[in-house]
Amino acid sequence: ITSILLSLTSQDANANKPEQLVIPEQQSRFVQPTETKQQQQITIPLTIPESSPETGVTSHDDGDDDVRLQRLSFKVKAGDSLASLFKRSDLSATELHQIMKLGKDTRSLRYIKPGQQFRISVNDQQQIQELFYDIDKMESLHITRDGDSFHAVLVQRPVDIRSNYASATIDSSLFEAGKNAGMKDALIMQLVGIFGWDIDFALDIRKGDSFNILYEEHFMEGRKIKDGPIIAAEFTNQGRTYRAVRYTDAKGRTDYFSDDGRSMRKAFLRTPVDFRRISSRFGKRHHPTLNRMKMHKGVDYAAKTGTPVKAAGDGKVAFRGRKGGYGKVVILQHGGRYSTLYAHMSRFKRGVYPGKRVKQGQIIGYVGSTGRATGPHLHYEFRVNGVHRNPLTVRLPDAAPIARQYKDDFMARSQNLLAQLDSRKPTRVAINN
C-alpha cells in the first residue's frame, strides 16, 4: 500500500512542474507572437537628417567620429541683416565680428539683399566652419575657419562675353524704337547716358532719327544672365550723326569718347533733373505770382515733389538755405568761371552744406514749391563769369579728352569697334523705277 501511494505522489509532482521551453538562439529577439519564421526581420536604426522649414537646417556626418557638421541654409528676407540671421540661428556674434574684420572681401556682407542665399556649416559647439554667400550670379564669397581665425576668398564664376547688335529708326519715341529692336530699359538708358550731353532726349528727338549700337551680352553655362555695356554706338539726330566708343585705360578708368578721342561727357549736365515738361523758358515773361513782365533768368522744369535734383557738374557748395522768392536754394561754384543755382526745393540732401565738394550727378536736394512758386518744379540757372546764360542753349565745356599716352591704343581699338558697327548695319538697296 505504501509503495502505491509514493508512486502516485511522484506522478502528481511531475504533472504540476512547469514545462521548460527551449528557444533557439537565432530566435531570441523581440518577435511578435503572430509572426511566422519567414516574417521575422532584424531592424537597423538609421540617422535621419533633421530639417527646419525656416532655415533649412540639416545634419551631416563626414565619416569622422569626432567631427559632425550641421549645415544651415538661409534665404534673406526683407529687413534681414547678417546680425539678425546669426542671432536667430544662435551663432556667435564674436565670430561674425571676426568675419566682418577680414577687409574688403567681406564688405558685401553689410549690404545683403532679399532673395540672396547663405550656406553655413557649424560643428557641435555651433562654431562656424564654412560660410558660402552668393553675392550675385557671377560672384560668391567663401569663408573658411583657419584655427581660431577665418579666411575669405571671392570666387568668380566663368562668364562668356559675346557681342550683339541693335538698330532702330524712331517713329514715335526712343523707348518704343528701342523695345522694337529688342533692347531692355537699362540698355536704352545707357544709350541716353552716352549721348545725353549732346542731345536733349526730352526736346530734340524727331521722327526719322536713328541709332545703331554694339553691346556686350554675358552668358553663364550657355544661358544669358544680363546685358553688358554698350561698346560702340552711333546716333543720328536731326541729320547730325554722333559716334562713341567705350575705352578703358591702363589704370582701369572707363569712359566714352568720340571717334577722334574727345570725351562724350561735358563738364556740365544739360538738365539736372528728370522732368515732365519745361514749364517756363529763359527770357522775358509774365511772372505768374508778381503779375508783371519780368526777365526769367533760368529754366523751370516741372516735376513731382521729391524728385531728386543732381549737381550739374563737379564743384563746391557756395550757398545752401533760403533766399527770398527762390525758397530753398543751393548754389554751386564750378571753378572760377561757372556757377549753377537750384531753387524751390522741398528739402536738401543730407550732408550738402557750404564748403562741401560735390560730383557731377550727385543728388543735392529734392524738387518742391518753396518760395514764390505756383507748383512743384526746379528753377535752374547757369552763370558764366556771373552773367546768366540760357541753360538750354549755352555751349557747355568739354570734359578732358583721351590722355596722350593712351591715344594710339585708343585709335586702334576705336577703329576696330566702329568697323564692326558699320559691318552690322542693315544694307539699304536703292530701287529704280
**Got the DSSP string for 209-240?**
-EEEEEEEEEEETTEEEEEEEEEEEEEEETTE
pLDDT value of position 370? 94
pLDDT value of position 8? 55
Q: Which of 247, 260, 243 is nearest to 425 (CA)?
A: 243
Task: Identify residue 312 by its one-letter amino acid code.
Answer: A
Other Cβ atoms within 10 Å of 402 Cβ, number: 22
Cβ pair 333, 355 in contact under 8 A: no
What Å distances lie between residue 93 and 74, 90, 98, 118, 213, CA to CA? 17, 9, 9, 16, 50
Distance between start and end Cα atoms, the chain:
152
Those residues with Cβ within 8 angstroms of residue 235's Cβ, 6 or more apart along the chain or in another chain: 191, 195, 199, 209, 210, 211, 241, 242
Those residues with Cβ within 8 angstroms of residue 126's Cβ, 6 or more apart along the chain or in another chain: 90, 91, 92
- DSSP code of residue 289: T
CA distance 289 to 418: 53
pLDDT value of position 58? 52
Cβ pair 197, 204 in contact under 8 A: no
Residue ranges in the chain modelled with pLDDT below 50: 13, 15-54, 59, 61, 63, 65, 429-433
pLDDT value of position 240? 94
Quote the radius of gyration of the chain (alpha carbons, Å).
38
CA distance 308 to 315: 18
pLDDT value of position 112? 81
pTM: 0.58
What is 25-90 written as a DSSP string?
Answer: GGG-S---TT--GGG-------PPPP--TTT--EEEE-S-TT-EEEEEEEE--TT--HHHHHHHTT
CA distance 301 to 323: 19
CA distance 274 to 301: 8
CA distance 408 to 148: 53
Cβ pair 344, 365 in contact under 8 A: no
pLDDT value of position 6? 56
3-state secondary structure of 246: strand
State the cell numbers at 205.
528727338
Task: Identify residue 14 by its one-letter amino acid code.
Answer: N
Phi and psi angles of residue 365, each rounded to the nearest 5 degrees, phi first: 180, -165
CA distance 314 to 268: 8
CA distance 342 to 317: 11
pLDDT value of position 27? 41
State the cell numbers at 280.
517756363
- DSSP code of residue 426: P
CA distance 404 to 408: 8
pLDDT value of position 225? 86
